[in-house]
Structure 1
Amino acid sequence: MTSDALGRIGTHGRIGTHRHIGAHGRIGILGTPWQAVPPLAALAPWVTDIGATSLDVERGTGRDSFMGHVPDSATKLVFRLPTEGSGGGGDWLVLGPRTRASYFVGGKRLHGCLQLRIRPGAARPLLGVPARDLVGRVVPLAQLPGPAGRALARGLADTEPEPASVLRYLAEELPRRLTPGTPAERARDAVLRAAVAGLSAGAASESGPPQARVAELAHRLAVSERQLRNLFTDAVGVSPKHHARIDRVRQILLRAPQGSTPDWARLAGATGYYDQSHMGAEFRELMGVAPTAYVAGRLPAGTPCHRSDRRAG
């Protein structure tokens, strides 16, 4: 993320006008403008990209107040910007991996958000807890167990509550937390990075369904399937197979946005499914609605949006 890109994130996080799909193929929050940009070089060991949503509007009732979060195997650090005139300093939340979509309604004034996607394997050193303990949860940063999360929360609380300032603070502070790992730790991180890349939907059409790809990948990385599963569950929060399933559904969301008319059979093949029926069943399981209903905007009914700590699916 360049200094110019940093400057584009204003006080209320208004960058871009995309509807739930940001730059670099990232999927954001349904029903909100969203854009993602690469992180500053100093944050790259911790963060894959930074996104902003423009939520600083008064939401009404019915579909005008509707929001949804799509499945995502990433753990995220989210800064909710203070609303204008609130006098508050905003707050920091940790969003754990989300295994299924969730849909919400609410009539309150919502915050703009700055979202940092934590790199696979970085949750434990950054937050002090493994990703597996955060699955389906939304937790205030200051309430995480252990000193790491609380220390980070204290530092952020003393920072000017606007995106450019908090990103500068993180760019200065996080490199101090990055310690050279042992040879074993570096080898484990290399295996994890290779596994995440190997299970991306971009490789799906060449390598077959997730379970076959996990076995093939473990063999290629010279680890057992059990070792790969344990590494993934601890560092990412979900199993390799579930990560691959989530990634494939996210690729469908990217290639078949709402209002489009996709060629479903071709899309199924391009994202590694056996056929269109297989794609539809998996999409419905993770998104709660069939692909055709999704692109037509027929989404499940939302539930009231509650504050953390909560289970989010």
Structure 2
Amino acid sequence: MPSCETAGLGLVRHTSSVIAATSGAVAIGDLSVAAGVSSAHLAQRFKELIGVTPKRLARSYRFAATVFAIAPAGPIDWGDLAGGAGYFDQAHFGHAFRAFTGLTPTRYVEVRRRFLREHPGHVWDNWPLPAD
């Protein structure tokens, strides 16, 4: 019998792997139904074992995938980027962007472009958010 600390670990491990594999583009309600548990139970297990809800984890993955899709060297169609990432509209994307980074999308690109000018040839190594 699993201890209290590890109860639900398999559920959380499986669900988080689906969230990661889909880059957060999955309905959490569908995951709880597939697992045969309530959304509240799933959220409680996530909070207890990894400190965030599955919805927050999915938002983080989705945001990271979106930021990695930004090519700062060229023009950016923010509406297309937001729509492609599954955001309701550009305003929701901008709100999420500021919530995660403290920067507007435009300011983020300015910072990233400046960084690239000041550090030519720098390899990002999958770190999308340079320090301002």
Give the drift of 1:289.
0.9
Letter in 1 for 2:17: A
Superposed CA deviations along residues 92-141 of structure 1, whole A, max 9, x for unmatched, are xxxxxxxxxxxxxxxxxxxxxxxxxxxxxxxxxxxxxxxxxxxxxxxxxx
| Displacement after TM superposition at 1:260 (Å) | 4.7
Whether 1:285 aligns to 2:105 is no
Instruction: Pick one of 68, 74, 78 that aligns with 1:254.
Output: 68
In the alignment of these two chains, the number of paired residues is 111
Contact 2:9 2:49 in 1 (8 A): no
Structure 1 residue aligned with 2:56: 242
Residue 290 of structure 1, CA deviation: 1.0
Distance (whole Å) between structure 1 residues aligned to residue 76 and residue 68 of structure 2: 11
Question: Larger radius of gyration, structure 1 or 2?
Answer: 1
Q: For 2:33 and 2:63, how far apart are their aligned partners in 1?
A: 25
Q: Which of 9, 15, 39 is residue 225 of structure 1 equivalent to?
A: 39
Q: Which amino acid in the other structure matches residue 254 of structure 1?
A: F
Q: How does 1:87-102 map to 2 (within 5 A)?
A: none
TM-superposed deviation, 1:266: 2.4
Identity %: 32
One-letter identity of the residue aligned with 2:23: G
RMSD: 2.8
Q: TM-score, normalised by structure 2?
A: 0.68
Once residues 77 and 109 of structure 2 are traced to their aligned partners in structure 1, the CA distance between those partners, rounded to angstroms, is 12
Gaps of 5+ in 2: 113-132
Q: 1:261 is aligned with what amino acid?
A: P
Q: 1:202 to 1:249 in 2, by over 3 A?
A: closer
Q: Structure 1 CA distance, aligned partners of 2:55 and 2:75?
A: 29
More strand by share: 1
